[in-house]
Amino acid sequence: MPAGTEFGEAGDRGPGNHWTLTFACPDLPGIVHAVSGAVVHARGNITESQQFSSADTGRFFMRLQVESPVTREEFERALQPITEHYGMTWRLDVVGRPLRTLVLASTAAHCVNDLLFRQRAGQLAVDVPLILSNHGALRDLAEFYGVPFESRAVVSPESKRAFEERVVEVVEQHDIELVVLARYMQILSPELCARLAGRAINIHHSFLPGFKGANPYKQAHARGVKLIGATAHFVTSDLDEGPIIEQNVVRVDHSHSPAQLVAIGQDEESRTLTQAVKWFAEDRVLLDGARTIIFK
């Protein structure tokens, strides 16, 4: 299994015969042949296949969609010899199964709204059991979409620790597979970052690696930039340094005020975060050290 296995195996709820299989392993001869043979052994038909060999790390990555009449247990038995032989980290999931997702937010509504709108419209395969916030500003928005909302003030080290303990509690209670920081304006502790490694996505309101930290639009305006953007990345204990999943930019000029840059940038933030979550929910994102492999 890829990073984040502390949340348990995904895709073990609900029958299905259309599967997504992703894996990573050292790049060796015969991998594709072996995988194809295992699929045939499971009476499967490959309907989609993508692969990548990293010259930088010497690792091989692959994503398959497979139709097969066998059960999960039978499919896993067919895969076991090759996963052990090649030292694979792998994931088998039902195509289209909604990913159990916890949303963390503060006061900004645009990213949360876009996620919930696209989930309701059937464009984003996530199941959000709770929005957890350090402010109460988004309660009405959550109620509009019928999503439970909980706010807990973070004003001291003790209250921050209590908030993060609640995050862990929700993750365990709801078997959460992804945590989305939808403009959650608090820095997670190193301990929580480690616990959520590979399973937490943040949106930063600049085109990283430029303008890290707070007030990036103000920084961008002061530098007179001609492009502003947004970056969705995995959360790590190094602020705004996690592996990048998606980025978008838009052109601006000298006439735009800091407030106008914020308004323009919010559209990019929403679009970028939603795309990253969509790819993750569809098992299209694999980690390769400090980089990501995205099978679009």
Query: Annotated catalytic sites, by residue?
Result: 240
Distance CA 144, CA 263 (A): 23
Distance CA 272, CA 230 (A): 7
Distance CA 23, CA 83 (A): 9
Distance CA 225, CA 254 (A): 8
Distance CA 10, CA 259 (A): 42
Q: Tell me the C-alpha to C-alpha distance, in Å, between residue 201 and each of 47, 178, 229.
A: 29, 8, 17
Strands (E), 166-206: 178-181, 200-204
